[in-house]
Amino acid sequence: MTTSVAGVLADTAAQRPDHSAVIYESEHFTYGWLWEQARRYASVLRANGVRPGDRVAMLLADTPQFPVVYFGVLAAGAVAIPLSVMSTASEIDHVLTDADARFLVCAASLLAQAREAAERLGTVLLTAGPGPAGTVDLENAAQDTAPIDDSAVREPDDVAVVFYTSGTTGKPKGVMLTHRNILHNVERMVTTPYMFRSDDVLLGCLPLSHGFGQICGMLTGFRAGISMVMMPRFSGREALALMTKHRCTVFMGVPTMYFGLLDAVAQGEQVPRLDRVYSGGSALPVKTLDDVRSVFGCPVYEGYGMTETSCSVAYHYPGLTFRPGTVGAPITGITVGIARPNVDRIDLLPVGEVGEILVRGPNVMAGYLGRPEITAEVLIDGWFLTGDLGRLDGDGYLSVVGRKKDLILRGGYNVYPREIEEILVRHPAVAQVAVIGVPHPVLGEEVWAIVVAARPEDVSSGSDEEIIEWGKQRLAAYKYPRRVEFTDALPLGSSGKVLKRMLVSKYEPTVDS
């Protein structure tokens, strides 16, 4: 087994060089071509001063340029720092400063977002495509440069990738994942849960700057030698068309993508023939899971993980008995525990009790870049404290009930938003829902539901009372929402998660209205 993430592509390129690795705008790019281009890019990077261990930021859209640059950076022995194309100039400035990134590889089309920060910090700016005078065009330079013979030797505990968190509770933090962290999950996920076959075709619609798309999709898929259809920007309609055109067998997405697919099908779009689909990033409502399974006629496997755990912790998978409302069982080699939250020591709880989800294994990050104090708060006695609340049943299945910071304390009772969301989303007028706790002068917090209506006509006088009554009939008295607010869309982070803190900030000032 390779000890470097670059070896994922190198090994498959040696085994099946002529097989399509990437399909983009109907053009096929083989594994052999991809690895040769990556080694050419590595040669150009070295010629411009990149040395093993240097941190190289990447601001690139999901096109074939991304894997070429990504594996070029790793082949040069450097550390890849992927940035979302949605990043603002100030966010790019923060990452370049915080990571002390000496280099930035930027798509020419995104230079407006990044150039000022790079110049101010003295970061060497390289473009993937023609750029302004004074910048090196990696794509052009690589064509006249001999590829390096082999990738730089890296130790398993060397950092391979630094992902920056979304920063919903403060400045984004850099999550350091080592070659060992990433390869541990890649080697196991390729068989369980993903069961990739060499003839599989995956729709790559998850952002490659995020761990779900990069590790679970691209790296695990390349390890298996599959073909990945690249889609820079998701839309349900276009996703269905691409999957039909390229005969995709596998889809991976976050819940908002499944909402988009189901909506497109409801509008009359053709349904592709899929073998299996996987959901992650945040909880998929059981109703939505059932709808996807019914519409697409294939199994839906839901999983759980986060950036700090190399993206996957537990999953449903073929051969494992499906249990709705759970995220399956821990992946081989990973241990999950449930502990009493908000205490100074690890106090594991019995089966069935709700507590903070802890993870232990070779997939757990090396720490937060430059933040030893914060790292020490979440890495205790070999356990990573996820900040999520959940329970384990007697057979080892994990259920996630929500983020610890999203827990609602109403009149002394714990209210778990996901439980309420699962009930409300079954109301015919509700397409999507996020349940939040809004400050209350007597109860501490009150339960509110922020709803995206299934149809425009569902936003009418009395609709909110109907949804409240729906919850009242199905939930304990302290759980059902006392107020429903309609919105056109829920705020999402770059990974597709609903940003509930933004909703609290938005509606908190209206609490007395």
Distances in whole angstroms, Cα of residue 264 to Cα of each of 131, 204, 253, 449 = 38, 18, 15, 25
- Band the pLDDT of 170: cuts 50, 70, 90: low
Answer whether residue 137 is part of any domain.
Answer: yes
Cα 325–328–329 angle (5° rounding)? 145
Residue 206, pLDDT score: 95
Mean pLDDT of 477-491: 93
Find the domain containing 220 and state its range: 190-298
| pLDDT given at position 319 | 86
Q: Give the separation between CA 406 and CA 408, rounded to whole angstroms.
A: 6
Check whether 24 has a pLDDT greater than 80.
yes
Q: What is the CATH number of the domain that holds 57?
A: 3.40.50.12780
| 123: nearest Cα among 95, 161, 96 | 96
CA 134/CA 341 separation, integer angstroms = 53
The C-alpha atoms of residue 310 and residue 312 are separated, in whole angstroms, by 6
* HSE value, Cβ hemisphere, 13 Å, CA-based, for 306: 20
Average pLDDT of the residues in 245-258: 95
Q: Is the pLDDT of residue 15 over 60?
A: yes
The domain boundary, picked from 266, 298, 330, lies at: 298
Q: Tell which of 298, 320, 351 closes a domain.
A: 298
Q: Please indicate whether residue 499 or residue 339 has the higher confidence score (pLDDT).
A: 339
**Which among 126, 154, 182 is the end of a domain?**
154
What is the pLDDT of the chain when averaged over all its residues? Answer: 93
Band of pLDDT at residue 199, cut at 50, 70 and 90: very high
Percent of the chain whose predicted confidence (pLDDT) is above 70: 98
Whether residue 121 contacts residue 96, with contact meaning beta carbons closer than 8 Å, is answered with yes
Picking from 332, 333, 330, 328, the residue whose alpha carbon sits closest to that of residue 361 is: 333
Confidence (pLDDT) at 169: 52
- Average pLDDT in the 375-392 region? 95
144 within a domain of the structure (yes/no): yes
> Does 21 map to a domain?
yes
**CATH code, domain carrying 226:** 3.40.50.980
Domain count, the chain: 3
Q: What is this structure's pTM?
A: 0.89
The answer, yes or no, to whether residue 134 has pLDDT greater than 80, is no
- pLDDT category, 513, cuts 50, 70, 90? very low
pLDDT of residue 230 exceeding 90, the answer is: yes
Q: Is residue 465 part of a domain?
A: yes
pLDDT of res. 357: 97
Angle of helix 65-75 relative to helix 6-15, nearest 10 degrees, comes to 110
User: Are both 196 and 114 inside the same structural domain?
Assistant: no
Predicted pLDDT of residue 450: 96
